[in-house]
Chains A and B, each alone.
Chain A
Amino acid sequence: MSDKLLEVKNLKKYFKTPKGQLHAVDDVSFTIERGKTLGIVGESGCGKSTTGRCIMRLIEPTSGQIIFDGVDLASLTNRQMRKARKDIQIIFQDPFSSLDPRQTVLQAIAEPIIQNKLITGKEAIEKRVLELMETVGLAERLINSYPHELDGGRRQRIGIARALSVEPKLIICDEPVSALDVSIQAQILNLLEDLQDKLGLTYIFITHDLSVVNHFSDDIAVMYLGKMVEKAPADELFANPMHPYTRALLSAIPVPDLRYRQERILLKGEITSPVNLPDQCRFLKRCYSSCENCRGKEPQMVEVKPGHFVACHLCSR
């Protein structure tokens, strides 16, 4: 029996727009085991961040179940939810806008501790903040610095320390390294990995960078226009991608190694609007291997190999 920490069932988030309903997240289901990392990849507008935010109910889902540690978060009241968020934390993409410019490092990291009444007493809190700063690799002398005095990598470390301060079980990392330079990216990725080993954390890793997600995840889910189109263990997905979109996406990564030259699948056109979608495959307009069958109903996720799910008429036949 696997140890499920989070199970998302049929999560939907529709936004009302003047032109009709925008299907940001459309019937997404997945599970994550304790201590594992699920990578969610996709291009801008595919609903990966909305999915992350719906899990924390920072955005109210339209429908669906979010079963976290046995409790359906979607059914909680706002007050109960606030308590539940202690166990689920999020790290945002932009360390420049996700910190309050008027808070010092001490205040920023102490805030969640004080909010959740985890520790009382000024000295005890400061001690805990220093502990957290050490955990994430921030020098003690920076405790009274303001965000503008620090570079992107250090700011992201503050974001991580804030997330860790409440001892969460699950951390949603929403593009945590995309705003950073490569040498700093590697520092932060290693830090997140070490923390997972040490604290037994579970991650949802949302990113558009496929090489990063490959390095980091146990399972990878690929999203396109609000739908999950493929999900598999990371090795399997990279070795044997099945959905035409996944194959194109993987072939589009520029590889920094001259020994790996690959045939590129160039997709025509761009992502279509997720407003008022017809009941057929969302990738059909850009697909290079569609057949008559594809004009019919929208394909559902089918397990083609143990652990490897794909939503495509051609692949599931």
Chain B
Amino acid sequence: MENDRILLEVSNLTVNYELEDETVEAVRDVSFYIEKGKTLGLVGETGAGKTTTALSILNLIPDPPGVIRSGKITLGGESILDKTKKEMTRIRGKEVSMIFQDPMTSLNPVFTVGDQIAEALMIHEGLDKSAAFRKAQEMLEIVGIPGERAHEYPHQFSGGMKQRVVIAIALACNPQLLIADEPTTALDVTIQAQVLDLMKELKKRYGMAMLLITHDLGIIAETCDYVAVMYAGQIIERGTLEEIFNTARHPYTEGLFNSLPNIADRKERLKPIPGLMPDPTKLPKGCAFAPRCPYASPSCIEEMPEDIHFGGSHFCRCSAYKDPKFHIEREDINE
């Protein structure tokens, strides 16, 4: 891998939320990278640490109680965590933008949408008010909203339109990296399809990289180049889209796929993962998935698994693979 193709690199990131009488281990020793122009999908269930990982990249972890205990984050070769507050302000919205899940609450109700897009342009691009507003109207056109609606307020837009406005703000300064945290979860399916389509098109047009956070494997399948699966604060498997969907290795990844209704055979019974995600304040010593894992051996609960590599970028964090003959059931099906 040539180094200059890598835009973002996160290594050994550990983030805790340290409360008075307990510590939530939200992100535990997470490492990944994103190449220029590529999309990495971060998938996992509620509480897996997806959003905390994303907020760390922007250095936006609420502190207190959030503390980045260790790790390094480099963007275009520069270390994010060493930046001053002022330098960070210049990076956010300019180099890295973020779209949040809920478009209803991420816009300011008392400013017109045009002003809100223009604000980013005035801060980062140094445009004056009227030039910024004209550019804001252009941005609206790009996301499929008539430019004259720039004078309207957020409440005059529907949910899908608001998310388009948020996308327009995020893309106004042509960022290198877009972090999208569940960008379509609050939207209806037909609107979701429109927004995903728009994001794909804009990504191609501007050549930006994207970190897409979602719990929906269907969205991952449609938009991502690489996939990282998170469980209890760790990336437990990572690979290309094909590797994860066609030759998944980790028992949890298998469990996620089995939980979904099968489109080919709709009468097939769902196979849920038994049990619940462990309490992040009382994580087990060994593999966090072991208590729910059908393949677990007694040693899984005791010792922390290591990353096992399968060639290329595909790895999974599971001790069972120390036995070279081990494979999950899903593999039989796909062969």
Q: Which A positions have Cβ atoms within 8 angstroms of B?
A: 43-44, 151, 153, 181-187, 189-190, 193, 208, 210-212, 214-215, 234-235, 238, 248-249, 251-258, 260, 264, 266-267, 270-271
Contacts and interface: CB of A to CB of B under 8 A. Distances in A.
Contacts of B216: 254, 256
B261 A215 contact: yes
B33 interface: no
Interface stretch (B123-131, B240-248, B298-306): B240-248
Contacts of A248: 190
Nearest to A180: B46
B216 to A, nearest CB: 6
A186 B216 CA distance: 14
Contacts of A238: 266
Given A211-B260, A211-B263, A214-B263, A183 B241 contact: no
B334 to A, nearest CB: 10
Nearest to B214: A254
Contacts of A257: 221, 245, 263
Given A181-B46, A214-B261, A266-B197, A208 B215 contact: no
B302 to A, nearest CB: 24
B256 to A, nearest CB: 6
Contact of B246 (A44, A210, A258, A264): A258
Nearest to B44: A181
Q: How large is the interface on B (under 10, 10 to 19, 20 to 34, 35 or more residues)?
A: 35 or more
A153 to B, nearest CB: 7
Nearest to A153: B276
A157 to B, nearest CB: 12
B220 interface: yes
Contacts of B219: 254
25 contacts: A43-B189, A182-B215, A182-B259, A183-B45, A183-B259, A184-B276, A186-B271, A186-B272, A187-B272, A187-B274, A193-B269, A211-B260, A211-B263, A214-B261, A215-B261, A215-B262, A215-B267, A252-B189, A252-B192, A254-B216, A255-B222, A256-B260, A257-B221, A266-B197, A267-B193
B144 to A, nearest CB: 9
Which of A210, A255, A270 gathers the greatest number of chain B CB atoms within 10 Å?
A: A270
B104 interface: no
A191 B216 CA distance: 22
Contacts of A249: 189-190
Contacts of B191: 43, 270
A-B pairs, top 7 by smallest CB distance, nearest first, are A254-B218, A186-B272, A256-B217, A215-B261, A43-B188, A252-B193, A186-B259
B162 to A, nearest CB: 11
B123 to A, nearest CB: 31
B209 to A, nearest CB: 21
Interface string B38-77: 0000000110000000000000000000000000000000
